[in-house]
Amino acid sequence: KETDGNEKKGSKCLHFVHNDNVLFSFVEVPTPKDDKKEENKETPKTFSRVIVRNSIGKYSWDTTRLFDYENMDELVSLPFQFQDDGVAQPPPVPRDGEAPLAPKPMEDHSEIPHNTNTYKTETDQLDVLLHYLSHTHPDCLPEGIKTLNVPADCAETQKKRIDYTEQSLVLQIEEDEQMIQKMQENVPPPQYWDMACPVPQLPVGTYHYCRTLLSHLGLLSCDNLGAISLLAGDPEKIERSLTQLDRTNSREMIKVGIIYLKEGQEEQYGVLANSAKDRTPPFYEFIRSIGWPIDLETHRAYMGGLDSKGTTGITAPYFATSTTEMIFHDITSMPTSSSEAGQLHKKRHVGNDHVHVVWTEHLRDYNPTTIQSEFNDVHIVVYPLSNGLFKIHVFQKENVELFGPLMHGMCVTKEVLPSLIRATCVMGNKYVRYTMEGYVTPYASRRSLLTQIVERHKADNDFRELIGSVF
């Protein structure tokens, strides 16, 4: 099983490949029990997890059903409220009093009718307006019409249809009133009103909820004919291949050494012996700004060789983006051994870093050979100046060309120093690694493994066979 616990013991899992580029794992995971919370009937017993793997990383998404077969009520809500005797009680029918009075015609036609709320008066505003227009603008009257608020005479053929429609509506109203009256007299309603909704059939398929999620995501539509395939074969081999893919880095892993020189220090032994108590306030502020101080004991991302048991310190600066992970080997954060003058446990980490960031408060320029190692291809030296600026010196080996953005001799402010230092470390590390023989980028490594998984485990059945064999 996966080390990250994405596919727990006892869970049901299906693996698919889409267009030979993306792996989808649909896992039906039992809902964990929480002793602190009371058991809720509406909480589903399982939830579905989607795990997406491709060349640039791995992503997970948990989904929960809103419509639960097992916990839904047996009876649906009916349109009527039932009394204790089992007789339906219809909603109260509003009965109006007398019909509204006819509108009072306007006697004074010199005034324009005002727009008032027709729901609070007994006057028909439209009728008043038509009556007003008929007397003030007789040119608007059609031929043979004396007033606009009186309907025109219908033709004989139309009159018969209108009379028939009126009679049908009157009969329908009478029938409705009789039915409502019977219901109000507690006459038992038709039998189908009292019929209970049938209990839904529980899903019997092993991958029922995975299929539901696949359908909701649109992966079972006709548009995906030939695009989605099942990973078939030995489940243990598939899990082993997926675990290997998950252990392959999806981002560029960079480790950078941070070296601190106090005033007057020039020898390697004295530099490696510096500890946290030797930091000056400007250097401490620089350490806090270049990365996030992580707890090495609980950190689960890139460690850069640091130990989680405290032998290499308790915290370390760490920074990450969507494409890179960067950890800094700060010699002042590592414990200093009083019995070992060479501080080999510090040099073991700093000496293997390709890029060094040197903060020096010495009056003389920094010598790149202070920390002797076969690595240390790039040195970014920071000199704090009295005017608040920081002078930058960049040293690189002969086989390393200029990379930027910080260049030798530049002066920058405190606000932009951390971001420029990180960007320069990334570019310097990339230049050194990309020129090394046999180096493969994380994207290419994951792409190669993903292609191997597809070639070894992709099923050769068509879409209909896929649906039939799985569901």
Q: Rounded to whole angstroms, how far apart are CA atoms 48 and 27?
A: 6
> Is 116 contained in some domain?
no
Higher pLDDT, 390 or 41: 390
Residue 130, pLDDT score: 87
Interacting residues of 306 by C-beta distance below 8 A, sequence separation 6+: 296, 312, 313, 316, 327, 329, 349
CATH number for the domain that contains residue 384: 3.40.50.11210
Residue with tokens 């109000």: 184
The tokens for 284 are 């401490």
Residue with tokens 């090394």: 436
Interacting residues of 451 by C-beta distance below 8 A, sequence separation 6+: 20
The tokens for 231 are 């990973």
Q: Which amino acid is at 111?
A: E
The gap from C-alpha 107 to its chain's centroid, in whole angstroms, comes to 70
Nearest to 254 by CA among 310, 320, 299: 320
Give burial (CB, 10 Å; 0-12/13-18/19+) of 149: middle
Higher pLDDT, 198 or 92: 198
Return the top range by mean pLDDT from 101-115, 130-144, 439-453. Answer: 439-453
pLDDT band of residue 228 (cuts 50, 70, 90) is confident
294 - beta bridge partners? 316
Residue 441, pLDDT score: 92
Q: Which amino acid is at 418?
A: P
- The three-class DSSP label of residue 52 is strand
* Segment (H or E) for 214: helix 208-216
Percent of the chain whose predicted confidence (pLDDT) is above 90: 45
The gap from C-alpha 146 to its chain's centroid, in whole angstroms, comes to 70
Residue 190, pLDDT score: 58
373 - beta bridge partners? none
- Least confident interval from 36-45, 125-134, 147-156, 364-373: 36-45
Residue with tokens 């941070």: 258
Residue with tokens 């489940």: 235
Q: Rounded to whole angstroms, how far apart are CA atoms 297 and 307?
A: 8
Q: Rounded to whole angstroms, how far apart are CA atoms 394 and 392?
A: 7
One domain for residues 323 and 276: yes
One domain for residues 426 and 292: yes
One domain for residues 455 and 351: no
Residue 235 CB coordination number (10 Å): 12
One domain for residues 264 and 346: yes
Higher pLDDT, 407 or 214: 407
Residue 1 CB coordination number (10 Å): 14
Rounded to a whole number of angstroms, the CA Rg of the chain reads: 41
Interacting residues of 21 by C-beta distance below 8 A, sequence separation 6+: 54, 55, 450
- The three-class DSSP label of residue 326 is strand
CATH number for the domain that contains residue 232: 3.30.1120
One domain for residues 465 and 411: no
Largest CA distance in the chain: 122
> Is 412 contained in some domain?
yes
What's the structural domain count of the chain? Answer: 2
Range 287-299 burial, b when 16+ CB lie within 10 A, else e? beebbeebebeee
Which bin fits 342, alpha (ψ -120 to 50), beta or left (φ > 0)?
Answer: alpha
One domain for residues 447 and 349: no
One domain for residues 337 and 468: no
pLDDT digits (tens, 9 = 90+) for 330-381: 999 999 988 887 788 899 999 899 999 999 999 899 999 888 888 889 999 9
> Is 291 contained in some domain?
yes
One domain for residues 258 and 233: no
Return the top range by mean pLDDT from 194-203, 286-295, 305-314, 434-443. Answer: 286-295
Residue 343 CB coordination number (10 Å): 21
Q: Rounded to whole angstroms, how far apart are CA atoms 334 and 345?
A: 9
Domain span holding position 46: 1-72+203-247+440-471
Q: Rounded to whole angstroms, how far apart are CA atoms 217 and 226?
A: 16
- The three-class DSSP label of residue 130 is helix
> Is 113 contained in some domain?
no
- Preceding peptide of 151 cis, ω within 30°: no
